[in-house]
Amino acid sequence: MNYELPTYNCSPRALGVDFGEVRIGLAITDELRMLAHPLITLDARNPKVMRQIGEIVMEKNVRDVVLGLPRNMDGSYGAAAEKVRVFATLLKQEIKCPLHLWDERWTTVAAQRALREAGKKTKEYRGFVDQVAAQLLLQSWMDAQPPSL
């Protein structure tokens, strides 16, 4: 008998983006889209940052980009949200996949707390905290998605 091994189609990944005026943290899902992992921190002031994100989307086979949208504690949007919306408009021109805006309240605070609890000092995690914030918002978005078969 000739048996064929089953093939598994891994879903394209999702990319989380934590926008900041100085640093942009990125996180990515595993191939099964179960877990988010920190990926990289980019310099937001670099004029090529949009192209860098677009290249990552292509290289990593990203199907969805999730961009953190800051909200005030009462659920309203402030000046920071408007900056993210402008960034989203520019990013959408660079990528060819859906861009989802996702509530990111508390992600940076939670990331800082997690890194402090891991024994990291502020200077040690300054660039990494944005990646962890992106990881938290991406995981939150994935957890809210309906299961797929």
Domain boundaries, the chain: 13-144
Pick the range with the lowest mean pLDDT from 16-20, 74-78, 109-113, 126-130: 109-113
Q: Report pLDDT digits (tens) over 34-66.
A: 999 999 999 999 999 999 999 999 999 999 999
- The CATH fold assigned to 13-144 is Nucleotidyltransferase; domain 5 (3.30.420)
Which whole-number Å values give the CA distances from 139 to 6, 7, 17, 94, in the listed order?
A: 28, 26, 12, 23
Check pLDDT > 90 for residue 115. no
Q: What is the mean pLDDT of residues 21-36?
A: 94
Distance of CA 140 to the CA centre of its chain: 10
Check pLDDT > 80 for residue 118. no
pTM beyond 0.85, yes or no: no
